[in-house]
Amino acid sequence: MLSSDNMQILPLETEPFTPSTDRDMLPSERRTFVRTHRTCIFGTARRADGPAMSVVYYVPTDGDELLVSTMRDRGKAKAVDRLGKVSLCVLDERWPFTYLQVYCDASVDDDPDVVVDVMMAVAGRMSGEPLAEDARPFVAAMAAEERRVVLRCRPYATFAQPPRHLHRNDQAEPITHWVSASVPWDAPDPTEVPT
C-alpha cells in the first residue's frame, strides 16, 4: 500500500533466487536476490567500537527501497538520523550459504500508514503468509504503543559473495574462491556473462 508515495510493497516470493555457484552474480541477479529474500544483518556505524549489527526482516518495494520496521528509540533509527547510511547483509535461506551486502542511503519515515503497512508485511514474511486485513487495528495500536517507524533504505551499491561449499572431505575438485567487487545498484549486466 505505502499510501504516502504510491510505492507498492512486493509480495513475499515463494522461491528465493538461487545464484550460480561458479561465477559472481550479475547486477540484475543481485537485485533479484535482494527482492526475493527477507532477512538481513542491518549494520550501522557506531561512534566508538565496531559497527552495530542486528538481524531484521526487510520488505522490498517496487521502487527498490528496502523497508525495515523498528522502534523510534532504538539505535537503528538514531543511527539513520545521525548518519543516513546503512549496510544490509542480505542472507540466503538455503545452503550453501550466500550473502549479498547492500549499501544504502537511509531515512526515517514516521507516517502511521506506512508504518502499519510495513509491520503487516513483516508479519507476513515472518509467518510465510499474509496477515489478514482485520489485524490492521491491532497492528496500528502496537505501532503507536511502541513508537514504531520505518527505515527507508535506498540501495546504491552491492557486494556479492557466491556460495562455495565443501560437500565432503574427499571431493576430488578443490574449492576455489575469487574476488568480488562493489557494483552500482542500477548497473547493467555485461554483454557477455563471465565464466
Structure confidence by residue, pLDDT tens digits, 63-78: 999 999 999 999 999 9
- In 49-147 the beta strands, taken as DSSP E runs, fall at 52-57, 59-60, 66-71, 85-91, 99-109
**Residues in a beta bridge with 142:** none
- Asked if the structure places residue 15 within a domain, the reply is no
Question: How far apart, in whole angstroms, are the C-alpha atoms of residue 88 and residue 154?
Answer: 11
pTM over 0.85: yes
Decide if pLDDT at 168 tops 90.
Answer: no
Task: Give 87's contacts (C-beta < 8 A, 6+ positions apart).
Answer: 42, 43, 44, 51, 101, 102, 103, 104
| Structural domains in the chain (count) | 1
For residue 123, give the CATH number of its domain.
2.30.110.10
- Asked if the structure places residue 11 within a domain, the reply is no
- Asked if the structure places residue 20 within a domain, the reply is no
Q: Which domain holds residue 75?
A: 27-164+176-184
- Asked if the structure places residue 40 within a domain, the reply is yes
- Asked if the structure places residue 90 within a domain, the reply is yes
